[in-house]
Amino acid sequence: MDNEKPVVASRMPAVIKLEPGKYWWCSCGKSATQPFCDGSHKGSDFTPQEVEISEFQSVALCNCKHSKNGPFCDGAHSSLPTAS
């Protein structure tokens, strides 16, 4: 399972307003509650990543699961190969 690749949930980030608190970002791409974890990673090499928000703010959370900036979008979706 070491070469397991995440599912691209969307080629666009989830731009959402979050209240202060802790959230769990889905890293596998299989969650039905994107961009947040619903436990769908169980049995895989993936684990959700904690996101702590200290003040009410808009964030762009990665939905392609290829960001080098963890749960935050870095534009990696724009360089993903298109599905054939």
Which pTM does this prediction carry?
0.91
Domain of 46 in residue numbering reads as 14-71
Give domain status of residue 23, yes or no.
Answer: yes
Does the pLDDT value for residue 5 go beyond 50?
yes
User: Positive or negative, the Cα torsion across 29, 32, 38, 39?
Assistant: negative
Give domain status of residue 6, yes or no.
Answer: no
Give domain status of residue 82, yes or no.
Answer: no
Counted domains in the chain:
1
Give domain status of residue 31, yes or no.
Answer: yes
For the segment 10-30, what is each residue's pLDDT rounded down to a tens digit? 999 999 999 999 999 999 999
